[in-house]
Structure 1
Amino acid sequence: MPAQLLQIAAAPDLVDQVYRALHDAISSGSLAPGERITQEDLARRLAVSRQPVLQALRLLKKDGFVLDAPGRGLLVAPLDVDWMHKVYQVRGALDVLAARLAAAQRHRIDPKLIERGRRAARGRSVEAMIEADAAFHHAIYAASGNLLIAQSADQHWRHLRRAMGAVLQSVPQRESLWDEHEAIAKAIAAGNVDRAARLSDAHVTQAAQTLGTRLAARLSAHANQGSTA
């Protein structure tokens, strides 16, 4: 006799949709760091029942995007510069490995990804900038031929998207980032393993420094506003 399994209370795809909608709102700042949130209010705003919201919030809490609020309910987790630095350290190691493996195969990254990124950099949509950046780097992960790289990186990109959303709008050198991306892609296509790795390492290191500086300044400004309110 087959074992009895517990019934799923809500369709998995709906829970995933709610998770992504809330994660996008947290990443864009629509749900701000430290903001209190309730299951009932989110269900009303998303026009869904409370059950998928509850399950999505449990996943977001597990992933570190929401925390228990004092008293009752939840709040959006504050941004943490030290935590983001650690995330970038891991991402950097994965990016360098992926670039090496992709270059060893002389993989040609689709130039349309770079064109898409340059268009996004000239626009005002932070979401489009983040999606283009993620698409380029995930193309390198796929080109590496090692599925574990993309699987490992996905977990960290969830946090990276949030930090990028917080500061990317104010970064003046957005398009120059795509010069760096193009140089990495050319090194990979040429099969220059060492150059591809070196450029990838420099790219992530600079991105981490820029993001950390601007994120720290933003958090300091918010703290000063709070102390004078």
Structure 2
Amino acid sequence: MQPIATAPSRAEQVYNAIRDSICDGRLVPGSHLVQEDLATQLGVSRQPVQQALLLLKNERLVVELGARGLYVAPLNAEDVIHHYQIRIVLDQLAARLVTERAAASPSWAAELARRGKEILAEGDEARNRSNAPDAVSQDVRFHSFIYEMSGNPFIATTAEAHWNYLRRVMVAVLLHAARGEIVWRQHREILDALLGGDPAASERIAAEHVLGAQGALLQALSEREF
């Protein structure tokens, strides 16, 4: 095999740029994705754009409508439910593992508390700036922190594709619903539970948070088209 040169890294950059534009709401559902236009906007050839769009199609962020080409996928309740069925399992597992690690090591628990409180403070700042993509990024950061602290590296990698989809739904909801205060209050409750030494309580609180988020997203989708 020949060594792979720069194409994958360029394709990855293009993938990240298009993915973030979709997740942050800059490319809205139904937007037509023309390879030539995207290549021009990003200053690259068509090849990395083609590779990036294939990855996004596999993640169901992009859909192909026959001869009409590729479009940003619509948001729908069924996909939200399916993603949240996976997320609730991952979040409960991570919460249990973190709680067990914190109970076993006071010094490790102190580090968990310090880093967690920093993220909570920065999340509050993002919420107060009323910037939906920024607030959602901080939300993802909080949960990614819990995945990291669980000690199981496969939780974060498994959750990544689901968060790519959920980020865009969450941004759309935050633009139309004031849930920031509720979300970050629940994040504080989750951190307190992780430090409380009761894995079952942590799993319960994590599940309540996920189900509450799912309910808000489904309600928003039922009330307006995105």
Q: TM-score, normalised by structure 1?
A: 0.89
- Does residue 157 in structure 1 map to residue 163 in structure 2? yes
Runs of 4+ aligned residues of structure 1 deviating over 4 Å after TM superposition are 7-10
Instruction: Select 1:217's aligned residue among 196, 201, 223.
Output: 223
Deviation at 1:41, TM superposition (A): 0.6
Q: TM-score, normalised by structure 2?
A: 0.90
- Does residue 51 in structure 1 map to residue 50 in structure 2? no
- State the partner residue of 1:94: 90
Root mean square deviation of aligned Cα: 1.6
Of stretches 165-174 and 95-104 in structure 1, the one that deviates more from structure 2 is 165-174
- Does residue 130 in structure 1 map to residue 126 in structure 2? no
- State the partner residue of 2:8: 12
- State the partner residue of 1:225: none
- State the partner residue of 1:60: 56
- State the partner residue of 1:182: 188
Report if the CA contact (8 A) 1:10-1:51 is conserved: no
Aligned counterparts of 1:157 and 1:74: Cα–Cα separation in 2: 21
Aligned counterparts of 2:25 and 2:179: Cα–Cα separation in 1: 21
Paired residues for 1:18-57 under 5 Å: 18-57=14-53
Report if the CA contact (8 A) 1:38-1:74 is conserved: yes
Aligned counterparts of 2:63 and 2:220: Cα–Cα separation in 1: 24
Q: Which has the higher contact order (CA 8 A, sep 6+)?
A: 2
Distance change >3 Å, CA 54–CA 22, structure 1 → 2: same
Secondary structure, counterpart of 2:71 in structure 1: strand
Report if the CA contact (8 A) 1:87-1:160 is conserved: yes
Distance change >3 Å, CA 9–CA 73, structure 1 → 2: farther
Aligned counterparts of 2:70 and 2:169: Cα–Cα separation in 1: 20
Aligned counterparts of 1:71 and 1:87: Cα–Cα separation in 2: 29
Report if the CA contact (8 A) 1:114-1:178 is conserved: yes
Which letter maps to 1:147? Answer: P
Instruction: Select 1:103's aligned residue among 96, 99, 105.
Output: 99
Of stretches 15-24 and 67-76 in structure 1, the one that deviates more from structure 2 is 67-76
Which letter maps to 2:145? Answer: A
- How high is the sequence identity, in percent, across the aligned residues? 39
- Does residue 147 in structure 1 map to residue 153 in structure 2? yes
Please list the CA deviations of residues 166-186 of structure 1 after superposition, one character each: whole Å capped at 9, or x if unmatched. 211222131221111011101
Aligned counterparts of 2:72 and 2:65: Cα–Cα separation in 1: 9
Secondary structure, counterpart of 1:33 in structure 2: coil
Please list the CA deviations of residues 43-92 of structure 1 after superposition, one character each: whole Å capped at 9, or x if unmatched. 11112221111111111111111122332421111112111111011101
Q: Tell me the number of residue pairs that the alignment of Structure 1 and Structure 2 aligns.
A: 216
Tell me, which stretches of 5 or more residues in structure 1 are unaligned? 223-229
